[in-house]
Structure formats: C-alpha cells, structure tokens
Amino acid sequence: MRLKVQGVSFCYRSEDVVDDVSFDADEGQIVGILGPNGSGKTTLLKCLNRVLAPRLGTVFIDSIDNRDRTRKEIARQIGVVPQSANSSFPFTALDMVMMGRNPELDRFEKEKENDIQIVSKAMEMTNTAFLANRSMDQLSGGERQRVIIARALAQRPNIMLLDEPTLHLDVNHQIEILELITRLARDEKMLVIIVTHDLSLAARYCDNIILLRNGRIVSAGDVTQALTRENMAKVFSIDATIYYDERIGTHNVAIIGAIKDG
C-alpha cells in the first residue's frame, strides 16, 4: 500500500492554509506531521481522507484517486483518531468500538458475527477488551484514547491518521500510545500518520517527518534530515538539536531555548 499526495492545496476563505503539499508514504511507516499551531496540520489530515476536498491536487492510495472512491471505500482505507474533545460519551467502550463498523453496515442493519470478531480483535490489539462494559465517561485519558484507536482499527484500514494522539495525556500514557502506534506500523504493516507538536516524541517514534509552516512543507525526510537545528529554528523559533540517545536507542530532541522574534 502506498499513499501519494500530489500538490494538495486547501483554503477555507481566500488564503491557502495547505499550500501545494506533496509527499509519498508506504505501509509500515510512521510519518509525523509537525508544525506550530495554525500551520495547517489538521487541515492537511482532513484532506487525506476527503473530509475536506482539496482545492487543488490529488491524494492517491495505491494509485487510485480518492475522488474515485466512495465514502465506504475511503473508510476501508483510512481510519481516523481525531483530536480528543472533552465531550462526554454516554456509552460503553464496546459500543464505541462497534461504531467503527458503521461504514460497513447499512442503516439499521445489525452487526454480524464477522463484525463482532473484528471488534474483539481491535480491542485485543489495543488492550481495551477488559474495558468493554465500562462507560467511556469513566475511563482515564489513556484508556479512552486506546478505545478510540480501537474504533478506527475496527474499520480495518491500511492507513491510520491520528491528530495529536498524546495531547492531554500523562507522560506514561503518551509512551503507551506511541508504542501501540509503533506496533500497528511494524506488526500490522499499517501506514501511520500522526500530527504532533511534540518534537521529542516525533524524533523517537517517527520514521519520517513533514515540517509545515504556513501550510507549506519546509522540510521532509527522515528525522535527522528534517529536524535540523536550522529547520527547528525556522519552523518553531527554538534553538534545538537532535541527538542519538544511547539509553533509549533512538533519536531525541534537546530544546536549548526560545529564539526571540525580530
């Protein structure tokens, strides 16, 4: 499975907030989309699964233009974990995950044995089976996030899009979610695309990084190519360096300080 994004632009009003974005990504990879607030990360994510229709450009999955796929076909390809809202969910974790099967069911159709099996597998993979009968409102942030990932997995997608999946989570739960994401890429061969503004977590867990500023790609490549001192200064106005951390066996980012404007 291969995702090809070609010259995608999108505007809400007159100005493009995603501006001529192109990149390719393959199954088994974790791609991080990074940039400051308002740089167009969430909008780009929404263009990938056609929640928003790009003004220009094309998104191909396995050489098929998203425009030529039905909603149902796109849902089979792409699962989404939206930015967590603090809304209340007056239903159980099992109900929540079962909603991932909705694109496959006709209106008022009841889930079949096959759907139940897919949902069980998604809950097993995310270690949420034991939460099945608990109300979503009673779960911790990390548990709730795992259930929402399970809901996306229940669509059985090839691509997972996650918008700030670690926001509002304690640091131990952040690591737990990123390790789960790593397993989805490595073991299930999914393409995982995460939006984050956490440079350290991105350096640690992503294979490739796309750095966005004002809707445009400033740099794209593996973590050492993208997260250079120069690029981090340009995009985030910080003095920061990337280094290889022997203790964790991955790259990490040390933020030295903020760069004052002007």
User: Residues in the site for ligand ADP, rule: CB under 6 A?
Assistant: 12, 17, 35, 37-43
Of residues 42 and 145, the one with the C-beta less far from ligand ADP: 42
Question: In the chain, what are the helix, strand and coil shares in percent, each to the nearest 5?
Answer: 35, 30, 30
Nearer to ligand ADP, 126 or 166 (CB): 166
262 to 13, 192, 196, 231, 259: CA distances (angstroms): 29, 37, 26, 17, 9
Q: Which residue's CB is nearer to ligand ADP, number 32 or number 35?
A: 35
Which residue stretches of the chain are H helix?
41-48, 71-77, 93-98, 113-125, 141-153, 171-186, 199-205, 223-226, 229-236
Shortest Cβ distance from residue 113 to ligand ADP (Å)? 40
Q: Whole-number minimum distance, CB 55 to ligand ADP, in Å?
A: 13
Q: Residue 33 CB, nearest distance to ligand ADP (Å)?
A: 8
**In the chain, how long is the greatest CA-to-CA distance?**
62
Would you say 17 or 149 has its CB closer to ligand ADP? 17
Q: Which residues pair with 194 in a beta bridge?
A: 32, 162
Q: How far is the CB of 52 from ligand ADP (least distance, A)?
A: 9
